[in-house]
């Protein structure tokens, strides 16, 4: 991650405004999650919480509850491996560049980012493409889905970058095997896809957060109708250590997210972590 040692006050103020926009939304179908704020008591539990289990050496472990819900817990390393594989996917461009405010790169092989995911796939007949926009403060990617037989080209006008027929709701085109792994993979993929090529301020938020195993391991609570994914993360940034919880709920066999929330669990001052 590239860090800037000294940044003028004016540039920083503008940058943080851009960050607020980038982090609050920009992930159609999943990351428009509202921040539900600081949790006041430890009594509040995630939707997937039911009992405790021993951390396995590798792979998930299940814990059944009396209400017909099975909670499957996953090691944090399982998610970390997926994240690394996604970021290393060959999508055909060099993202290590903070260009001018008019730098736009068109990407036509983002479907390759889905290759590391064994339990989900893109609906037949479609492909993921996108564009990458770089400014002096950040760079970020906007993926979209088009039909496989369409030769999508970027629009000449910057205000109309999406080709005709493109859909930014990637989750609408995902299919899976209905396993707990598939719903966890969907939640990770739909965030990691937008993190490809993220630079400087665009890396604030999910791209720079570390998945935790405490206060709870990553989990999927699954019953006859729904699957709920819960992931806790740690963010070390701008003088604070922040623990957050992501909660995504899916209807079974449907990978378009029904509801999603991002909740700040705790925030502690720690001056070791600078702003950038």
Confidence at residue 60, expressed as pLDDT on a 0 to 100 scale: 66
Q: Residue 150 CB: number of other CB atoms within 10 A?
A: 14
What pLDDT does 61 receive? Answer: 64
100 or 215, which is more confident?
215
Read off the pLDDT band of 99 (50, 70, 90).
low
User: What DSSP string runs through 176-224?
Assistant: E-SSHHHHHHHHHHHHHHHHTT-EEGGGTTGGG-EE--SS---EEEE-S
Mean pLDDT of 247-265: 96
Q: In the chain, what percentage of residues exceed pLDDT 90?
A: 48
Does residue 95 surpass a pLDDT of 70? no
């Amino acid at each position: 991650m590239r860090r800037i040692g000294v940044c003028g006050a004016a540039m920083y103020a503008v940058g943080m405004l851009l960050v607020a926009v980038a982090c609050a939304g920009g992930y159609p179908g999943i990351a428009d999650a509202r921040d539900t704020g600081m949790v006041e008591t430890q009594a509040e539990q995630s939707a997937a919480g039911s009992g405790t289990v021993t951390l396995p050496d590798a792979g998930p472990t299940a814990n059944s509850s009396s209400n017909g819900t099975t909670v499957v817990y996953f090691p944090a390393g399982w998610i970390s491996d997926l994240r690394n594989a996604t970021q290393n996917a060959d999508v055909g461009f060099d993202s290590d560049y903070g260009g001018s405010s008019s730098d736009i790169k068109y990407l036509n092989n983002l479907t390759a980012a889905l290759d590391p995911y064994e339990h989900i796939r893109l609906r037949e007949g479609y492909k993921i493409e996108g564009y990458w926009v770089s400014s002096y403060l950040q760079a970020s990617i906007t993926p979209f889905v088009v039909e496989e037989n369409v030769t999508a080209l970027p629009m000449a006008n910057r205000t109309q970058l999406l080709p005709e027929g493109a859909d930014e709701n990637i989750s609408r085109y995902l299919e899976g095997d209905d396993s707990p792994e598939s719903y966890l993979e969907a939640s990770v993929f739909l965030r990691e896809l937008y993190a490809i090529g993220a630079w400087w301020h665009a890396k604030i938020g999910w791209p720079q957060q570390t998945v935790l195993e405490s206060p709870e391991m990553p989990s999927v609570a699954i019953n006859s109708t729904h699957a709920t994914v819960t992931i806790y993360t740690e963010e070390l940034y701008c003088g604070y250590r922040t623990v957050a919880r992501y909660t995504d709920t899916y209807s079974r066999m449907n990978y378009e997210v029904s509801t999603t929330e991002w909740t700040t669990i705790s925030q502690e001052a720690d001056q070791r972590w600078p702003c950038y």
